Copies of this chain bind each other. A is one copy, B any other.
Amino acid sequence: MKFLGKNLNNPLVLASGVLGNNKEILERVHKNGCGLVTMKSIGPAPRDGHKNPTVIDLGHGMINAVGLPTPGYAHMEEEWKALEKRNFPLNASIYGGSVKEYQAVAQFVTAKNPDFIEINISCPNSEEHGMIFGVNEKSAFDVVAAVKKVIDQPLIAKLTPQAPDIAKIAKACEDAGADAICAINTAGPGMVIDIEAQMPILAFKKGGLSGPMIKPIAIRCVYDIYKAVSIPIIGLGGVTTGEDAVEMIMAGASLVGIGSGVRYRGINIFNQVNQELNSWLTTHGTTLDKIRGAAHKTNCFQESAQ
């Protein structure tokens, strides 16, 4: 299939921050049935991230505050050298604390020629007192427009469900030149307190929620964004089965991302979801293109009932 002019084996995407720490593991994920793999978000300066505990499974999903660890864009020559000779499509995720920082990272990364550049706008905006870029239309517009200017690859804007109206943010990104939307980043934030320790479990105290429990939020976001924009959407959040992927596509997604699902079904989840998705399509005699956005159509009953 084609996505923004590139060929992908299938509509599945590895979520940023999950496994994507080196070329070999990205390749393995690709071999296990993932159409497009995303690297761990690359930031402006070396960062260790938070102390542990950083990632905790809650059974119906997980909570994490890894804290955006990164070698820093300027210190990744070897990784990029290895990735030059890759035989799989690559999505490079970037972040920054200011528009300038996003631009600096983007300028560097674009020269390494990934297939797509995804900008993670769920980071605190240092110029606006820690307000997250992605909860504000103006700052989302500004950062997308600034990055778009300096890169050669299609730009994917990755949004946070913490925005009061994610559809408006998506529209601002589209207006600023984004070629696709990726939704959603982690929900919440949440906190889990251990009552014996009398303390939040995560060292950073609060963390983002992911996995099955956030699927209804992700579906709602993709549904709203689909109504608001005409660029394609990577639907992400809580997908673990082929049926979940169908649901995401019916909400309006063109590609379907998987992150936490790796915890529940292993790396082979990509092959499994592809197989389940394809067998669902076959059983129902339909195609991805036909079901995309299907949940937006009203049917005869709806009209008579209103």
Interface residues of A (CB under 8 A from B): 51, 58-61, 63, 135, 162, 164, 187-193, 195, 198-200, 205-206, 209, 212-213, 215-217, 219-220, 223, 243, 246-247, 250-251, 280, 291, 294-295, 297, 299, 305
Contacts and interface: CB of A to CB of B under 8 A. Distances in A.
Nearest to A161: B188
Contact of A191 (B200, B251, B297): B251
Given A191-B219, A217-B188, A219-B191, A60 B246 contact: no
Nearest to A58: B216
How many copies of this chain does one complex carry? 2
B195 A220 contact: no
Contact of A250 (B193, B205, B250, B295): B193
A260 B63 CA distance: 22
B209 A217 contact: yes
Given A191-B219, A191-B251, 15 more contacts: A51-B305, A58-B216, A164-B164, A187-B217, A188-B220, A189-B217, A190-B220, A191-B216, A191-B223, A192-B247, A193-B251, A193-B295, A199-B295, A200-B295, A209-B216
Nearest to A60: B60
Given A60-B60, A198-B297, A295-B199, A190 B216 contact: yes
Most B-side CB within 10 Å, residue of A60, A219, A220: A220
Nearest to A200: B295
A101 to B, nearest CB: 22
B188 A216 contact: yes
B247 A195 contact: yes
A59 B59 CA distance: 12
Contacts of A164: 135, 162, 164
B291 A198 contact: yes
B198 A250 contact: yes
A209 to B, nearest CB: 6
Contacts of A187: 217
Most B-side CB within 10 Å, residue of A51, A294, A305: A294
Contacts of A61: 213
A63 B193 contact: no
A122 to B, nearest CB: 13
A44 to B, nearest CB: 23
Contacts of A192: 216, 219, 247
A38 B59 CA distance: 31
Contacts of A60: 59-60, 212-213
Contacts of A295: 193, 198-200
A212 to B, nearest CB: 7
Given A164-B164, A188-B217, A213-B60, A198 B294 contact: yes
A192 B58 CA distance: 21
A280 B209 CA distance: 28
